[in-house]
Structure formats: structure tokens, C-alpha cells
């Protein structure tokens, strides 16, 4: 009797340790940690995108039995560099990083590597290979293409439009803009009347949009490098009573999806960051326990279009089928 109870208990424990994590992460067999430290470094949590990114990574790491230290670099490469020093001196087992600059992040990642700490990049790439353990990024170019194709359809292939650029020091801003222009450039009746940077910021986008409207009252659409700027543009358009201008963003933040539901924005492109945060932690865990690195360093994940037709399937950066 006693033995049978023990047997069942062991079986249950096995189920919990093996099945639960694998349930969370489909088919991959992820080993559990023993309290090693995983340091998670992201841009400021004032953007819900990065907040969710850090939260998902932290939850996943703790679920697997790791200690976590969540740090924020505020897009300042120097601060990021200091955080790497902290991670190294704390003897971290792995670093999960959404980096502060494609070039400026190479040196600290290399330093961590020399100290035996692998860095798993999420969301943004760096301009070097063979240094990071993996680079899990959504393909910004194809995300932008998906958004632009939907935008062209909304516009009916004609009319004046405005493009809002992200921070020009950020590689993604350029890549996204390239994606937009490659698609829209094929339609000669779509006229780009203004391109302005709003530094990823909602307030700046509001101001820029207000100014642009002064000179271009006849615009029909706005395509924005991210959602926060798109929301700023929507606010400016609504203030000017121009509710029928099409606005398309990128990132798939909860705010943007709420705006789509309320008829403000018209579409956004979701980067499935919940997926890559969790994947990066899983890969880190595999490395820590077995010493195996992911086969492919660069792993790109496709984006999903969020429109008024599918907003009900969306919840905090996850779009269920």
C-alpha cells in the first residue's frame, strides 16, 4: 500500500516536471534549472511591448527553476554595458537580451562570452554573428511588408499618405521603412507627402502629425513604424476631426489592438514576442543543462496581421488561431 502511494507520488512529480513545461512549449524537451541565474535585459518597460517581453521571459525562467534578475537599459548602450558587468560579476548562467544597439552591443556580448556566459538575443539583431548564442527576431522587413500590403488595400491603391519613422539610430526603424517603401513604391498613385521621425514616441508623433496636417489637409492614410507613434497620430487626427484617415502600425501592442476595436487604428502587425521570449529562455535552459547551443544562430519568426476581423483572438501579444 505504502509502496503504491510512493509510486503514484513519483509518477505525479515526474509528470509535473516533465509534462507541464513541455505542455507550455509544445514539442521541445526543456530541462529544468537548479536555481542558476538568468539575467534578462530589455529596453524600458514604459513600452508595454518590452514589459510583456521581460515578464514572459521571467515567468518562463522561474517556471523552469531559475533565479532571475530583470534589468532595463533604457536604450542606452552604456547602461547596457554596465548591466553586463553586473551579470558577469554575479556569475549569471545566461543572459536574455533585447539589445540597445546593433553595433554598440557587440563588445559587451563578446565580453560575456569570454566569461563563459552565452547571450540569447530577442527582438533585435546585432551586426555580428558567432558572438551571441542565438538571435531570435521577428523578421522586421516581412512584418513591414505585411502591414504595407494591408495598407495599400485600405487605401484602394491611391491617395496621399504620411509615413512616421522610428528612432533613426535604431536599425529596425530603417528596416521597417524599407519594407513599407518596397511595397508602396509599386503603386504610383499612392503619394508620400511627408516622412518624419517621431522617435518611437506617442507625444512626438502627436506633435509631428498635427504639424503635417497643417500643410497636408488632404491625406488619406498614415503608416507608422510602430504602434505608439500610430496611436499618437490617431489622437492628432481625431483632434482635427479626421476620423476616416487610415492608420496602420506595427508591434501589436494591447493599446493598438484596443484602438483598432474602437475604430481608431485600422491594423497593426503583431510580433509574437511572447513566443520568442519563451523560446530564448528554453534555449538558454538547454544550454545551461546540456551545453548544447541552438543549431541555428539566427532564427526568424513571422509576424501576424491584426485587423478588426481578428482582434477578439488577441490577448497581450498573443494571437490565438
Partner 1 sequence: MIKAKNDMSHLDGQTTQNSGLAVIGKILVSMRAFIALFLLLGYFAIVNDSFLTQSNLVILTKQVAINAILGIGMTFVILTGGIDLSVGSIVGLAGMVAGALINEGLILEIFGIVIYFNVWIVIAITLIVGMFIGLVNGVIITRFNVAPFIATLGILYVARGLALLSANGATFPNLVGSVELGNTGFPELGAGSLLGLPYSVWIMVVLTILAVFIARKTPFGRQVYAIGGNERAAQLSGVRVKRVTLLTYVISGFCSAMVGLIIASQLVAAHPATGETFELNAIAAVVLGGTSLAGGRGTVFGTIIGAFVIGVLRNGMVLEGLSSFLQIIITGVVIILAVVIDQLQVRLQQRQ
Exposed/middle/buried for residue 102 (C-beta within 10 Å: 0-12, 13-18, 19+): middle
Q: Using CB under 8 A, which of the segments 99-107, 148-156, 201-209, 211-219 binds partner 1? A: 99-107
Q: Using CB under 8 A, which of the segments 62-70, 142-150, 200-208, 277-285 binds partner 1? A: 62-70
Position among 89, 214, 262, 290 found at the interface with partner 1 (CB under 8 A): 89
Min CB(164)–partner 1 separation in Å: 16
**Closest to partner 1 by CB, 68 or 119:** 68
Q: What interhelical angle do 106-114 and 77-89 show, nearest 10? A: 10
CA angle 271, 280, 276 (to 5 degrees): 15
Residue 68 in contact with partner 1, rule: CB under 8 A: yes
Q: Cα-Cα-Cα-Cα dihedral of 9, 13, 15, 18, to 10°?
A: -160
**Closest to partner 1 by CB, 167 or 192:** 167
Whether 52 and 317 have beta carbons less than 8 Å apart is answered as yes
Residue 76 in contact with partner 1, rule: CB under 8 A: yes
> In the structure grid, which three cell numbers stand for residue 62, read together?
522561474
Contact pattern from residue 124 through residue 143 relative to partner 1, giving x for each residue in contact according to CB under 8 A and a dash for the rest = ---x----------------
Residue 101 in contact with partner 1, rule: CB under 8 A: yes
Residue 169 in contact with partner 1, rule: CB under 8 A: yes
First to last CA, the chain: 46
> In the structure grid, which three cell numbers stand for residue 89, read together?
560579476
Position among 17, 82, 139, 181 found at the interface with partner 1 (CB under 8 A): 82
Q: Which of 57, 54, 50, 52 is nearest to 25 (CA)?
A: 57
Residue 72 in contact with partner 1, rule: CB under 8 A: yes
Exposed/middle/buried for residue 110 (C-beta within 10 Å: 0-12, 13-18, 19+): middle
Residue 168 in contact with partner 1, rule: CB under 8 A: yes
Interface residues with partner 1 (CB under 8 A)?
44-45, 68-72, 74-78, 81-83, 85-86, 88-90, 101-104, 106-108, 111, 127, 167-169
Amino acid at each position: 500500500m505504502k509502496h503504491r502511494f510512493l509510486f503514484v507520488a513519483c509518477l505525479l512529480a515526474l509528470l509535473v516536471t516533465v509534462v507541464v513545461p513541455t505542455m507550455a512549449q509544445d514539442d521541445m524537451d526543456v530541462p529544468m534549472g537548479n536555481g542558476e541565474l538568468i539575467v534578462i535585459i530589455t529596453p524600458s518597460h514604459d513600452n508595454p511591448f518590452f514589459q510583456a517581453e521581460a515578464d514572459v521571459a521571467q515567468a518562463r525562467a522561474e517556471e523552469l527553476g531559475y533565479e532571475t534578475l530583470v534589468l532595463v537599459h533604457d536604450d542606452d548602450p552604456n547602461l547596457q554595458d554596465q548591466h553586463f558587468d553586473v551579470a558577469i560579476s554575479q556569475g549569471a548562467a545566461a543572459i536574455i537580451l533585447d539589445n540597445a544597439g546593433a553595433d554598440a552591443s557587440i563588445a559587451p556580448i563578446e565580453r560575456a562570452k569570454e566569461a563563459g556566459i552565452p547571450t540569447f538575443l530577442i527582438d533585435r539583431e546585432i551586426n555580428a554573428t558567432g558572438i551571441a548564442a542565438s538571435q531570435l527576431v521577428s523578421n522586421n522587413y516581412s512584418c513591414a511588408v505585411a502591414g504595407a500590403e494591408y495598407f495599400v488595400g485600405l487605401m484602394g491603391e491611391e491617395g496621399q499618405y504620411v509615413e512616421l519613422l522610428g528612432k533613426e539610430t535604431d536599425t529596425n526603424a530603417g528596416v521597417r521603412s524599407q519594407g513599407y517603401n518596397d511595397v508602396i513604391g509599386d503603386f504610383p498613385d499612392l503619394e508620400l507627402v511627408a516622412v518624419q521621425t517621431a522617435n518611437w514616441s506617442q507625444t512626438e508623433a502627436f506633435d509631428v502629425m498635427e504639424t503635417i496636417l497643417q500643410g497636408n489637409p488632404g491625406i488619406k492614410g498614415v503608416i507608422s513604424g510602430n504602434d505608439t507613434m500610430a496611436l499618437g497620430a490617431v489622437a492628432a487626427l481625431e483632434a482635427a476631426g479626421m476620423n476616416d484617415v487610415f492608420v496602420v502600425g506595427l508591434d501589436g501592442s494591447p493599446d493598438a489592438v484596443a484602438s483598432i476595436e474602437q475604430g481608431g487604428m485600422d491594423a497593426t502587425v503583431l510580433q509574437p514576442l511572447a513566443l520568442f521570449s519563451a523560446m530564448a529562455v528554453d534555449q538558454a535552459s538547454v544550454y545551461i543543462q546540456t551545453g548544447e547551443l541552438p543549431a541555428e544562430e539566427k532564427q526568424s519568426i513571422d509576424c501576424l496581421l491584426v485587423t478588426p476581423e481578428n482582434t477578439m483572438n488577441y490577448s497581450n501579444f498573443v494571437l490565438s488561431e
